[in-house]
Chain A
Amino acid sequence: MNVLTDNLSLFREGFIGTVELTVVSGIIALVLGVIIAAFRVSPVPPLRVFGTVWVNVLRNTPLTLLFLVAFFILPKILFPDMDSFVLGVVALGFYTSSFIAEALRSGINTVPMGQAEAARAIGMSFTQVMRVVVLPQATRAVVAPMGSIFIALTKNSAIAGSFDNVDLFNVAKTLSNDGYDIAMIFLWITVAYLVITYAINGAFRLLEHRMEVAR
């Protein structure tokens, strides 16, 4: 019996599950990460404090612990009956947002302060300064580390698989319970993860190349 051919639809389901988890939590992480990075460099002290706390708490907490909080504490106090996919992408997205915010902040620091000042001096608002002048240049410095963050996110999404989400990791568990050869399962699961991470890697390489050409 062959693990892959026997369970093609299960594999497909797991693959799609992992991709969905990665994409949705990636989007959440990106949006939050940009906001938090902006907070951290904003002229408003409470926002800076909020940003710092956000990054430090989420970045220094083990992801599994965040999942435990998301699945066992959050539903009790805030959102009962929340879908496990939603809880999973929230935990992954929040966690990853702290890494994105930090990468962005270091990228922002590569943009000479004088340019932001010049932008302020012609009357741009803080949001305009960030959006029009700082972030486009920070992004260039941040593409490569961002790729690593998304690859880490793909792998981290496996934790969601042990919390009631059907993804590659979850499929591996199911199949090993069904008695298939564990080595073969892991081989195919690994190949599937590699497909995703290589795709991300390639996409970011392309992006990096594009940005170099654009200037």
Chain B
Amino acid sequence: MTEVSVTKDAIPPGADDLVVLKNVNKHFGALHVLQDIDLTIARGEVVVVIGPSGSGKSTLCRAINRLETIDSGDISIDGRPLPQEGKELARLRADVGMVFQSFNLFAHKTVLENVTLGQIKVRKTGKAEAEKKARALLDRVGVASQADKYPAQLSGGQQQRVAIARALAMDPKVMLFDEPTSALDPEMINEVLEVMQQLARDGMTMVVVTHEMGFARSAANRVVFMADGRIVEEATPDQFFSNPRSDRAKDFLSKILKH
């Protein structure tokens, strides 16, 4: 059955599918966290992933750059299947930017160094060039004046914007965001969302796990609703928020829209 859908959905080479997950399954022990996930993300598309806690959103995100291995199925990025652990995989990861809930900046490096490190160590860019690009990116996310500070000296919102700049410095083909604003104080959420919105307008391909409806409505091309390790519903933001089809989604939306 999968075979059939695979051939049916098969897309001629050169088509603009950037991230393709086919029949992906993953277990944590007895827990079936990802169940037959099929998901295709086109170049330039912004997909918001939404769903109750424990539904597997983070795991899905992390599987896309293989921070989490999968048990079966295929994941490919820009037409290339995810390689095994090693040099190949490292190269692929460099093409996939990731922004974490807890920022995860390198605490012993300055803000500027956080953004140059990957360029220098992974892309082998010269130091001067890397710094120039880092400063431009820090300017773009609005923290240029903090370049010489250490992460601990920055607010959460600033740290997250630095983390976005760090990911962008690798010129990623796609950016993954796992609840980028969940750890932030309310007054800092917008400054991060604005950066992400700008990124979306600039045509970046993005997968965003978030419960920020405002962002989903204004920036997303598509909303993917997950529950219990499955993709339950996919729709445009308008369709999804005003007229969800599944009971799970209705139930979930009624809960989060209450507060």
Contacts and interface: CB of A to CB of B under 8 A. Distances in A.
Contacts of B104: 112, 114-115, 117-118
15 contacts: A112-B104, A114-B100, A117-B100, A120-B93, A121-B65, A122-B93, A123-B91, A123-B93, A123-B95, A123-B170, A124-B122, A125-B87, A128-B122, A132-B121, A136-B108
B102 interface: yes
B67 interface: yes
Contact of A117 (B67, B91, B94, B108): B67
Interface in A110-153: 112, 114-115, 117-125, 128, 132-133, 136-137, 140
Interface string B76-110: 00000000010100111111111010111111100
B90 A124 contact: yes
A124 B106 contact: no
Given A123-B118, A123-B170, A118 B105 contact: yes
B117 A132 contact: yes
Contacts of A121: 65, 67, 93, 96-98, 167
A43 B106 contact: no
Contact of B94 (A123, A132, A133, A137): A123
Q: Which 6 A-B pairs have the closest CB atoms?
A: A123-B94, A114-B104, A122-B118, A118-B104, A121-B98, A123-B122
Interface of B: 65, 67, 85, 87, 90-98, 100, 102-108, 117-118, 121-122, 150, 163, 166-167, 170
Contacts of B163: 118
Contacts of B85: 43
B106 A133 contact: yes
A113 B67 CA distance: 12
Contacts of B166: 118, 122
Interface of A: 43, 112, 114-115, 117-125, 128, 132-133, 136-137, 140, 215
Contacts of A114: 100, 102-104
Contacts of A123: 90-95, 118, 122, 170
Given A121-B67, A122-B166, 14 more contacts: A115-B107, A118-B98, A118-B100, A118-B106, A118-B163, A121-B65, A122-B97, A122-B117, A123-B92, A124-B118, A125-B90, A133-B106, A137-B108, A215-B108
Contacts of B93: 120-123
Contacts of B90: 120, 123-125
A122 B117 CA distance: 9
B67 to A, nearest CB: 6
Nearest to B123: A123
A115 B151 CA distance: 12
Contacts of A124: 90, 118, 121-122
Contacts of B100: 114, 117-118
Contacts of A118: 98, 100, 104-106, 163, 166
B114 to A, nearest CB: 9
A136 to B, nearest CB: 6
Contacts of A125: 87, 90
